[in-house]
Structure formats: C-alpha cells, structure tokens
Amino acid sequence: MHWNDMGPGMGFGMGFGWLFGLLILALVGLAIAALIKYLRK
C-alpha cells in the first residue's frame, strides 16, 4: 500500500484525521485533569 496509490485526497483525509485525533486526545486529557482537581477539593 503506497501513498501514490491513494492520491492527494486520501492523504489529506488521513492528515486531517490525525490532527482531529490529537485534538480530541488533548481535550480528553484536559477534562481528566480538571476532574482530578475537582475531586481533590
């Protein structure tokens, strides 16, 4: 499976998926940190 076979559209979709995944992970991490701080009160 080569990048050339996918085409530019697929490559852009995968890159966007990675960015979206990282954004979700960052939001989840912040939510967990806030929850821990809230529970420690």
Rounded-to-5 percentages of helix, strand, coil across the chain: 90, 0, 10
Task: Dump strand ranges (E) for 1-41.
Answer: none
Using alpha carbons, list the distances in angstroms from residue 21 to 1, 16, 28, 35, 39: 22, 8, 11, 21, 27
pLDDT values of the chain reduced to their tens digit, one per residue, 41 residues: 455 555 666 666 666 777 888 899 999 999 999 999 999 98
Q: Name, in order, each residue with C-beta under 8 angstroms of 14's C-beta and a sequence gap of 6 or more.
A: 6
pTM for this structure? 0.55
Q: Which amino acid is it at 31?
A: A
